[in-house]
Structure 1
């Protein structure tokens, strides 16, 4: 099993979900495409780690709602106890930043402006999701026994990283301004 398979099982341990919902939930820590998720869900179902129920929709194809099986839960618990692999970071923006000296100041500023705009959208989304969690669960969201505790602390982590990246981008923009006048 690969890490994405465990990530899917981790999402399903909290509540049954469709493939679309799983993609949305994964966003906080994993960028996966539908073309990766659906074949993997099929394999996990064949391996007896999850089941699904077809739910009819008017005007649309039926959707599958996936649920973790006892076997899937057991495998997930074993996996959680193991040390994690070294994280893989792939960010095209950072590769461009590494070679930014090859471009002009206006292009560099545009690159950072676009990054800050995208991050600010994520910050707004994350703050709203955290507000909803607080409204739904109150202070119990900060209790490890709450089924949404893991999601809560991951959203908090991402929010802090995104806010820090905005500060870093502003710092770089200041350097670019200084370079423009030198």
Structure 2
């Protein structure tokens, strides 16, 4: 089992999801391609950690919802006791920032302005998502034992990181100008 497998199981604890929904929800942790997710879902199903439910849809292709099994919950609980791996971070933008002396100020400006635009959009969407969680779950959301607590704190962390990225880019722009 790799980290992606555990991430999929973790998301299924909250509610059954399709592979497409799981790919969208993974964004808070890392980018995973559908070509990684679907074979892993099949393996988790074969191993007895989840079960599929075929859902017929009108006017759209049928979809498969995945449910975590008791065995999947047990596997996830056992994994929770283990120390996490060292985080891996890859960001092409940072390589470009590191090499910024090779370009002109207009290109450097554009690079950082584009980054700010990208993160402003992420912040907007994340704030909206957090507001929806707070409206739906109220004060229970901040209870460790609530099923949504982990999702809430992870999205709060991502929001802070995205806001900090914007602040850092703005600081760099003051140096460039």
TM-score, length of structure 1 as denominator length: 0.95
Say if 2:169 is the partner of 1:169: yes
Q: Once superposed, what is the RMSD of the aligned Cα atoms?
A: 0.7
Give the count of matched residue pairs: 177
- Structure 1 gap ranges (5+): 178-182
Deviates more, 1:81-90 or 1:94-103: 94-103
**1:6-35 deviation line (CA, Å, top 9, x unaligned):** 000000011100111111111111211111
Distance 1:90 1:133 in 2: 29
How many Å apart are 1:117 and its aligned residue?
0.4
Which consecutive segments of 4 or more residues in structure 1 shift more than 6 A?
Answer: none
- Structure 2 gap ranges (5+): none
Partner of 2:19: 19
Distance 1:10 1:91 in 2: 25
TM-score, length of structure 2 as denominator length: 0.98
Partner of 1:70: 70
Aligned-partner SS, 1:64: strand
Distance 2:145 2:13 in 1: 13
Partner of 1:99: 99
Distance 1:164 1:34 in 2: 29
Partner of 1:141: 141
How many Å apart are 1:61 and its aligned residue?
2.1
Distance 2:67 2:60 in 1: 21
How many Å apart are 1:58 and its aligned residue?
1.9
Partner of 2:87: 87
Partner of 2:154: 154
**1:110-133 deviation line (CA, Å, top 9, x unaligned):** 111111001000000000000000
